[in-house]
Amino acid sequence: MRIFKLPDLGEGLQEAEIVTWHVKPGDAIQADQPLLSVETAKAIVEIPSPFGGQVAKLFAQPGDIVHLGAPLVGFEGAGASDDAGTVVGAVKVGTHVVHEGDTRVGAAGVQGGHGIKATPAVRALARKLSVDLAMVTPSGRDGVITATDVQRVATTLAELGPAEIVRGVRRAMAQNMARAQSEVAAATVMDDADLHAWQTVGTARGHDITIRLVRALVAGVRAEPALNAWYEGHTGRRHVLERIDVGIAADLPEGLFVPVLRNVGKRDAADLRTGLDRMRADIQARTIAPEEMRGNTITLSNFGMIAGRYAAPIVVPPTVAILGAGRIRDEVVAAGGVPAVHRVMPLSLTFDHRVVTGGEAARFLRAVIADLERPD
């Protein structure tokens, strides 16, 4: 039997979730015919058969998460005569990996990995009841989790019913946000752009808000190039990038997608709108190419299209900045010494304070506002 294993899908991806098999045991298949579809942190990818032969065994089922190099399918027949090795034992697939530190007893109580304090007996009870100790609020002295604490959470979970396993795009989002929170020294600066010069009557209609924001972001980068950069936290190296590739956060029921508009400083508004519409259509159809969601140099989140004024958007490494735009609203402002009602857009800029100074961030935001307040 020849074993085909999950190949390297690029971009450092280490795992994929099986979406569907296009074959079943006993089927004959030719080389390059569709074998299965998998979902990665980037997109749904169709994997072709590497050679022809008869499918003898499928090592994973739809919904399983398979790691790089794990067996996918076994082949028999003429096209699979060259033995690529056999698999011994069960193939382990799952949805998460639990790392538990050594337990020790000290002056502050009984301590375990990740700051969780619990005795070995309580940890064993938690495993028996399928309770994640990170979800448990401790009631014991010095923050030690007791058996009663674990049982309380187990009872609550039983009342809630089976939990939904976070998969696909939402799973990737959870991993990226956790990484961002652990690595980035985030700081946020906020201000407003007065859109009165847009010469509209009562609304901001007639303007492509997202594309205007992209243009304003370009103005910000030209004023302060340090925000269009990648930072390697583990090596301390910074790359200030000349080309501006903007990741545009897109909210879908499946989770957060961030397609990338390339080289936005060299493209006109019509070209940018065409490119953004195409990518959004591809996202909704789940046909967007993985490379179109990689390599952004800075990020834009126009969350105000839904709701909200200000926010503290999350900077995802290796980028160092994200600009958020809140809901445009009517507001009373001082104009020529008298009150007037103008249209105002709230803006929130989060930056990685490890490599971006407060002054650089403020000057970037000032340039963004100045561009947005232009009438054209």
* Sequence letter at residue 355: V
pLDDT at 81: 52
Q: Where are the beta strands (DSSP E) in 77-115?
A: 104-106, 109-111
What pLDDT, on the 0 to 100 scale, is given for residue 1? 85
pTM recorded for the entire structure: 0.65
Q: How far is CA 125 from CA 17, 140, 153, in A?
A: 30, 16, 12
- pLDDT at residue 322, rounded to an integer: 96
Amino acid at 48: P
| DSSP assigned state of 268 | -
pLDDT attached to residue 12: 58
Residues 6+ apart with CB under 8 A from 201: none
Q: How long is the chain?
A: 376
pLDDT of residue 240: 96
Mean pLDDT in consecutive groups of 10 residues from the start of the chain, 376 residues: 83 77 92 86 78 91 88 78 37 36 36 67 89 89 89 90 78 81 92 87 66 96 97 91 93 81 94 93 84 90 91 93 95 93 96 96 97 91
